[in-house]
Every structure is written in structure tokens, then in C-alpha cells.
Amino acid sequence: MTIENLTKTEEQTIALAGIFQSCRQMQQLANSGQIDSFNMNTAVKAIINTEPQNALEIFQDIANIREGLDLIQQQLGSAKTERDIELTRYSIGILFLATKLLKKPNMLQKLSDGIEKAQDQIEHFGIDHTNIHASLGGLYSDTISTLNPRIMVSGEPTILNNPDTANKVRTLLLCAIRSAVLWLQLGGSRWQLLFKRKKIVASAKALT
């Protein structure tokens, strides 16, 4: 498979994987205070890549979204698999907020301006600098976080009260929103999650 010959279903599957992966990494960060720098950088790159050729280009390589593809199989696959209810709650909440966001052109413009600012900051500080996480985390707070219902993150209070960790959590949520907007733009809907579940799971399995 090359980046140029993805089917629509494969692109939708990658976008959905982006939601699950970002939410899972946010979940783990909120509870442990730890995240691999590679995963964090992948999320930042996904946010700032505003003109991708297709869904895979956002994550650069299929290996960078493999955790999300595995989560699709776990969350949407056979009833025998153990599902993470909290992860489901986060993912559904993100999809709901993305639907609201697409109806707010002013907020979309604010996000676009904020991402452009982050792109400039990355050239100066580098992609893994705390200033980048603060900028993107603040952008999430000023935009998505004003929509209802807000995503209520569960985790260790001492960890979530750390400003740097809180900014990383919000950055991961912004990456999840990025993926959710892409899913919707590609024609994804909650009905597909119900009626085309097997097709999406099969696509995730094939992509891995």
C-alpha cells in the first residue's frame, strides 16, 4: 500500500484510528503523567499538517497510527473482545464536539490562526518544546473547551494539576478533534459506526 492509493474506507479508518489513539494516549498521560516523546510529536505533527494529500499523510506512516488501528479492532470488533468504556466515552464526546465545531466558522478560523502561530513557533523552538504544547493546549482551551458538553478528563489530580501535563492532555484532545473533523469530512458518521462496523474493523485489520 502506498500513500497515494488509499480507498475512502481506508482513509475513514485512519481518521477514526486517530481519534482512538489520541484519546488512549491522553488517557494514559492523565493517569501516569508519562507519554513517549515520539507519540507526542506525532500528535503535534498531525495538528499542524493542515493540507494533507490524504488521511495517512497526517500521520506520515501507517506505523504511527497502528495503536489506533488496533484499538478500532478492540473497540468495534467481536463482542468477545474487552472494550474500554472510558475510551468509548471520550471518543464519542470528541465526535460530537467535532460536529458542533464544523458549524462554527469563526471558531474554525480561530483554530486555523492558532495552528499557523504554532507552526511558526515550531520553526523557532522545535516540535517538542513545552511552548508548543502550551500554545496548542491554550488553543484547545480557547476554542473546543468552550463547546458543550466539555470533555471531562479523568485521571490523577496531582498529574492533571501540573501545567505542562495539562497542556499535553489538551494537545492530544486537539489531535483527536483534528482526526474527528477529518472523519466527518470523509463522510464518516455515527451510523457508519453502527452499520458498517465490520467493514471498518476489516479495514483496520488489513491496514495493520
Q: What is the CATH number of the domain that holds 110?
A: 1.10.3890.10
The percent of residues in the chain predicted with pLDDT above 90, rounded, is 87
Does a structural domain hold residue 55? yes
Residue 80: is its pLDDT beyond 70? no
Backbone torsions φ then ψ of 190, nearest 5 degrees: -65, -25
Does a structural domain hold residue 196? yes
pLDDT band at 4 (very low <50, low <70, confident <90, very high): low
What pLDDT was estimated at residue 79?
67
Number of separate domains in the chain = 1
Does a structural domain hold residue 64? yes
Does a structural domain hold residue 3? no
Mean pLDDT score, 88-104: 97
Does a structural domain hold residue 2? no
192-203 pLDDT, tens digit per residue, is: 888 899 999 999
Total-model pTM:
0.95
Does a structural domain hold residue 26? yes
The boundaries of the domain holding residue 181 are 8-207
